[in-house]
């Protein structure tokens, strides 16, 4: 038995009395489309989306990554370039010690006394290639900056978590110690402490290897670099220790160390990462300043601050020798700061970007 509806469809009755709707023309009724499933995004994914939308962050991040790759691949670049950082050639200089040619001896051909191109010229008085020394100078600066920043972040995070979680006299003592350390002027203390430490670790004739000098600088930077991180982490822990998941962990019998380093600390990675990204340029600048004052890295280790120090007597006759390492420091510090600011905006849920 069947009955035709006004719309042209037929109601078909079956033997057991059920009624089915058949579409005219022999087709069957289509089921309604399901709405598109909404896919939620984690805070990390949202931060990455914000960061990708920021052109300044992308450009500065690429430049920072380029500096890092160049520093890591310095030996490979030296092999491809075919010229070492400490190879000098007096035949590339005139009688007064200035580079032959234009703009500090810049030469893209091998038609010179060294039979090798010099993309950024050569150093006055020594005839060493500036390009390859700039490459190794980036390696020196980034090794010191990254090592000191990582150590500082680790120390500051541990002390900050302990001060904020335990509170009481532990918090008071650690805060007093942080205030005491911040009262020391960092640069003046470094100028006084580094020569003393180098005297202690020197050999029989007082010489200190380049590796030991770099380790000394990293230690000094780490001793003072953790203070601001500890204060930042402490302030965050004071609010996080009252959250529900912390109370639940206490009720479950978790120890204080488990709560601090397994429950609270993983939720602080965002401000810690921002602090790390902003501490790197400050460390690069401080290291260059100490080397410029002949306190940090010294010859023959290539270093940007040391290159600027050596260029001072030649600044009028060969300004490119001063400009090139100075420009490299400026670009690296600027891009680090821009990327750090962009990273902070991306990780901030209230950011308007």
The tens digit of pLDDT for each residue in 107-138 reads: 998 888 889 999 999 999 999 999 999 999 99
The Cα-based distances of 290 to 9, 209, 284, 303 in angstroms read 89, 17, 10, 11
Q: How confident is the model at residue 6 (pLDDT cuts 50, 70, 90)?
A: very low
What is the largest distance, in Å, between two alpha-carbon atoms of the chain?
A: 116
Sign, Cα dihedral of 139, 144, 147, 150: negative
Q: How confident is the model at residue 350 (pLDDT cuts 50, 70, 90)?
A: low
The tens digit of pLDDT for each residue in 24-58 reads: 444 444 555 555 554 566 677 777 888 888 899 99
The tens digit of pLDDT for each residue in 65-81 reads: 999 999 999 999 999 99
pLDDT computed for residue 266 by the predictor: 86
Percentage, residues of the chain above pLDDT 90: 47
pLDDT computed for residue 250 by the predictor: 85
Is the pLDDT reported for residue 291 higher than 50? yes
CA distance 23 to 6: 12
Whole-model pTM above 0.75? yes
Q: How confident is the model at residue 19 (pLDDT cuts 50, 70, 90)?
A: very low
Helical axes 269-292 vs 319-347, angle rounded to 10°: 170
What burial class does residue 14 get, using C-beta atoms within 10 Å of its C-beta: 0-12 exposed, 13-18 middle, 19+ buried? exposed
Please give the structure tokens belonging to residue 109.
């051909």
The tens digit of pLDDT for each residue in 144-170 reads: 999 999 999 999 999 999 999 988 899
User: Higher model confidence: residue 235 or residue 21?
Assistant: 235
User: Higher model confidence: residue 349 or residue 228?
Assistant: 228
Average pLDDT over residues 209-236: 92
């Amino acid at each position: 038995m069947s009955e035709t509806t006004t719309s042209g469809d037929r109601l078909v009755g079956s033997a057991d009395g059920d009624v089915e709707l058949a579409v005219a023309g022999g087709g069957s009724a289509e089921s309604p489309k399901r709405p598109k499933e909404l896919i939620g995004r984690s805070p990390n994914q949202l931060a990455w989306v914000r960061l990708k939308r920021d052109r300044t962050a992308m450009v500065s991040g690429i430049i920072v990554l380029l500096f890092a790759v160049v520093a890591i691949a310095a030996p490979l670049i030296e092999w491809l370039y075919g010229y070492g950082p400490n190879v000098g050639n007096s035949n590339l200089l005139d009688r007064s010690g200035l580079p032959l040619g234009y703009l500090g001896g810049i030469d893209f051909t091998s038609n010179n006394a060294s039979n090798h191109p010099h993309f950024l010229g050569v150093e006055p008085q020594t005839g060493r290639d500036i390009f390859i020394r700039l490459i190794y100078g980036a390696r020196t600066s980034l090794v010191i900056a990254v090592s000191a920043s990582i150590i500082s972040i680790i120390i500051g995070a541990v002390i900050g978590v302990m001060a904020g979680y335990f509170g009481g006299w532990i918090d008071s003592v650690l805060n007093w110690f942080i205030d005491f350390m911040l009262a020391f002027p960092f640069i003046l203390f470094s100028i006084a402490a580094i020569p003393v430490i180098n005297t202690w670790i020197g050999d029989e004739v007082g010489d200190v290897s380049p590796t030991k000098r770099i380790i000394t600088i990293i230690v000094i930077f780490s001793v003072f670099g953790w203070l601001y991180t500890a204060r930042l982490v402490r302030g965050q822990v004071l609010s996080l220790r009252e959250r529900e998941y912390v109370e639940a962990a206490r009720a479950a019998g978790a120890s204080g160390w488990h709560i601090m380093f397994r429950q609270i600390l993983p939720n602080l990675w965002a401000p810690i990462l921002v602090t790390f990204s902003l501490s790197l340029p400050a460390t690069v600048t401080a290291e260059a300043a100490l080397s410029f004052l002949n306190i940090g890295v010294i010859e023959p280790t290539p270093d940007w601050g040391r290159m600027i120090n050596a260029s001072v007597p030649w600044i009028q006759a060969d300004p490119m020798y001063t400009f090139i390492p100075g420009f490299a420091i400026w670009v690296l510090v600027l891009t680090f700061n821009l990327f750090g600011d962009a990273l902070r905006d991306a990780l901030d849920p209230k950011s308007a970007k």
